[in-house]
Homo-oligomer: A and B are copies of this chain.
Amino acid sequence: MDLHILDHRLRVTSISKNGLANFTHSLIKLIFLRNRTRCKFFSLTETPENYTVVLDEEGFKELQPSEHLQVESSIWLPLNVVSNGNASSSSQAVGVTKIAKSVIAPLAQQHVSVFMLSTYQTDFILVKEKDLSVVISTLEEEFNIYKEVKGDCVPVHGQDVSNGLQKNGKEAIQPTVHPVLIPKNHFCVMSLDPDTLPSIATTLMDVLFYSTSPKEDMQSSPSQDLDCIKFFSFSLIDGYISLVMDTEAQRKFPADLLFTSSSGELWRMVRIGGQPLGFDECGIVAQISQPLADSDISAYYISTFSFDHALVPEEDIVSVADMLHHQRNEPANS
């Protein structure tokens, strides 16, 4: 298999809930007005805590410094596994499960922290630029590694990296086992032809920027179940759109424009972390994705500024919950 280091230099940022109005002008430009910006990698995820915005340096220029904007200090590079026909695995699972053993586990062992961003189209593994030499030396046994440079793919080897081989070499310590939460919403992972994005602009703006303000016609707004979680993710990466939303949000969109896989499956969420996870700890993704891979259960995985989120098929949530509670040495009681 091939591993591509994509030609984007990314920033991971967070906008506070009550600071969103200050960034509406910038975000609408990044989402809807492609000919006004050079940004090619943009992702916005609303969680109960904040809005996580991951974007390339061109897009980052649009965000004005503010007390409402937190910026993680690293430059992050997105990696992407491209299966080239000779898939070494017979797994039918999709998403982060497919790369759990080949990418996620080895990086965790080398103490490389990753920020995962699954989309409808693919799974981006974001690593810090300063860890790149470790990443390459760790993964080059399993993968042919290419760096994308202005549209061309250039093969990369450990010795090409200026800093040389710098395996962290620390003992693999047992990572913290984080608490998990399983909200009751059902999610769908969808896409949209970018040319039809204007058709859903007002609905998307309503959901993204005004969902917390009260509606004047109250009838159309059933109160959110307390056991449900606010989670909405939009990404526009290299011209591809991906949306993750729960079924309540989905009903607001015209049914004929958003599409999902033919099986049209629904997903349940496992939210990882009791306290904000930070960006230095390693092995969080591995902790969840390894057992999923052992059971061949598909999963999307979306990291945000404060917490991580895995999405697993609706029909697997009971066994996943059992497994996670077992992992935490507690009796399953979902």
Measured CB to CB, the residues of A under 8 A from B are 20-22, 24-26, 28-29, 32-33, 35-38, 64, 197-199, 201-203, 205-206, 209-210, 213, 215-217, 220
| 18 intermolecular pairs with C-beta atoms under 8 Å apart | A21-B25, A21-B26, A21-B64, A22-B22, A22-B25, A25-B25, A28-B209, A29-B210, A32-B202, A32-B205, A33-B202, A33-B206, A35-B217, A36-B210, A36-B216, A37-B216, A197-B202, A199-B199
Give the CA-CA distance A215 to B38 in the complex, in Å.
10
Residues of B near A199 (CB, < 8 A) are: 198-199
Residue of B nearest to A218 (CB): B35
Give the CA-CA distance A203 to B28 in the complex, in Å.
12
**Which of B24, B213, B220 is within 8 Å of A24, CB to CB?**
B24
Contact A25–B33 (Cβ < 8 Å)? no
Contact B24–A28 (Cβ < 8 Å)? yes
Give the CA-CA distance A37 to B210 in the complex, in Å.
11
Copies of this chain in the oligomer: 2
Chain A interface, >50% SS class: helix
Give the CA-CA distance A3 to B242 in the complex, in Å.
54
Residues of B near A22 (CB, < 8 A) are: 21-22, 25
Contact A33–B205 (Cβ < 8 Å)? yes
Residue of B nearest to A211 (CB): B36
Give the CA-CA distance A26 to B210 in the complex, in Å.
10
Residue of B nearest to A62 (CB): B213
